[in-house]
Copies of this chain bind each other. A is one copy, B any other.
Amino acid sequence: MSAIKKIFQSRPDKDGIFFKRMQSILGFKPKEIGYYEKAFTHRSLGLSKNDGNPLNYERLEFLGDAMLGAVIAAHLFGEVQGGNEGYLTKMRSKVVSRKHLNELGRELNLLRYVRAAIPKEHFGANIYGNLFEALIGAIYLDRGYKYCEKFIFKRVIEPYVDIEKLEGRIISYKSVLIEWCQKEKKKFNFEVYEDTGQDAVKHFGVKLTIDKSVAGKARATSKKKAEEIAAKRAYYAFQREIQAK
């Protein structure tokens, strides 16, 4: 049995559970679970493979970073009309900033899957972003570019990449929406509801009603974030009316 197999079989959560958790994060079934195990193996374990490659996630970060860069570039190219290449480059670096990647890794609670020989408190500040990149690297090796693209759409672009915001046209959808409601004498209400999801991290549900009908609903890891996403959904539902003002 290889060293990595041993490590992962000695986990309190067995391979089957790790597999299911990966599947729930990824949105598809891993083909070769070994890549994902590697993406969560810290260098402190000092493992290496027969071919001399160190067995930890660091090289996968390099690969994931490149795939993330390509997918985000293609998305921005299609969405940001009229911006030149310098502008596109600047927007991409906002999306793939260390800070943002750390947030994404934290949302998915990636630290809980790590196997390491040091206490988790001793990891550097960028552990979440690094794991997030390594995970994308593992997806590439397991399933190729198309699946990286799917995953990045689901976990990065769909929930967080907002062209209006990136371009600085809108800082907060919540304030744009409130302003519009006040001007139009519409009654609005942000209501927190009980979230029953099975996510690893606690989520908050927020429902935004405008004139008593639901205009947007969202779940996120904080009330503030959920409100903003609900407001964004309502914004796009009323976009014409709002922009006509």
Q: Which residues of chain A have a CB within 8 Å of any CB of chain B?
A: 51-54, 58-59, 61-63, 65-67, 69-70, 72-74, 77, 81-85, 88-89, 92, 137, 140, 145-146
Contact in complex: B51, A81 (CB < 8 Å): yes
> 5 pairs across A/B with beta carbons < 8 Å?
A51-B82, A58-B85, A61-B85, A74-B140, A145-B146
Decide: A84 and B67 in contact? CB cutoff 8 A: no
CB proximity of A74 to chain B, nearest CB, Å = 6
Verify B74–A89 contact, CB threshold 8 A.
Answer: no
Q: Which of A59, A65, A140 has the most CB of B within 10 A?
A: A59
Q: A82–B73 Cα gap in the complex (Å)?
A: 29
Number of copies: 2
Given the known inter-chain contacts A88-B59, A140-B74, please indicate yes or no for A53 contacting B82, CB distance below 8 A: yes
A84 touches B66 (CB 8 A): no
| Nearest CB in chain B: distance from A56 CB, A | 10
- Cβ–Cβ contact B59 & A84, under 8 A: yes
Q: How far is the CB of A1 from chain B (nearest CB, A)?
A: 23
Which single residue of chain B is at the shortest CB-CB distance from A134?
B85
Which chain B residues border A82 with CB–CB below 8 Å? Answer: 51-54
Q: Is the CB of A63 within 8 A of B59?
A: no
Contact between A88 and B73, CB atoms less than 8 A apart: no
A126 to chain B, nearest CB (A): 13
For residue A73, which residues in chain B have a CB less than 8 angstroms away from its CB?
62-63, 65-67
Q: Which residue of B has the minimal Cβ distance to A62?
A: B85
Report how far A70 CA is from B73 CA in the complex, Å: 11
Whether A63 lies near B54 (C-beta < 8 A) is no
Q: Are A62 and B77 in contact (CB under 8 A)?
A: yes
Complex: A74 Cα to B66 Cα, angstroms: 8
